[in-house]
Amino acid sequence: MEAAGNVTVRADDIGAVPSAADEDEAPYREMDQSIASSRNRVRADQLLRIAHAERRLEEDPENFGLCEKCEEPIPPKRLELLPFVRRCVDCQTAAESKSSKPVRKKVTDYHD
Ligand SMILES: [Zn+2]
């Protein structure tokens, strides 16, 4: 037994899964932790998008890989390079050229 004030975290404890219900959350929690420790916001944003894409693939495989604008299938090659992409090349290009004017950029711009 450990004395109070001398808490030792064992490797077993770190890898322990709290309950069966939380099993699916574990990878995301690990990802959250790596995001929290990262100072690179762009990379953190990308990791989040990938996590969301993975979750979407699990929950809604029918619609995964479809452009959210025109609902055309996104080419597999594009998904391979950008697994978190939500639009086909045409819609993405249109959205980018539309929002490329030098005005303030907000997070909400991603939802246009
Ligand atoms: Zn499209």
Residue 33 pLDDT: 66
| Strand ranges for 3-105 from DSSP E | none
From CA 44, how far away is CA 28, in angstroms rounded? 13
Ligand 1 centre to CA of 74 (Å) is: 8
From CA 73, how far away is CA 70, in angstroms rounded? 9
- Blockwise average pLDDT, block size 10, the chain, 112 residues: 58 55 65 62 84 85 87 90 88 84 59 56
Ligand 1 centre to CA of 27 (Å) is: 30
The answer to whether residue 29 is domain-embedded is: yes
Ligand 1 centre to CA of 59 (Å) is: 21
The answer to whether residue 88 is domain-embedded is: yes
| Neighbouring C-alpha atoms within 13 Å toward the C-beta of 36 | 6
Residue 53 pLDDT: 84
The answer to whether residue 43 is domain-embedded is: yes
From CA 52, how far away is CA 29, in angstroms rounded? 13
Residue 61 φ/ψ, nearest 5 degrees: -60, -25
The answer to whether residue 11 is domain-embedded is: no
The answer to whether residue 17 is domain-embedded is: no
The answer to whether residue 5 is domain-embedded is: no
Number of domains in the chain: 1
From CA 99, how far away is CA 91, in angstroms rounded? 12
The answer to whether residue 10 is domain-embedded is: no
The answer to whether residue 19 is domain-embedded is: no
Ligand 1 centre to CA of 8 (Å) is: 53
The domain in which residue 85 lies consists of: 24-111
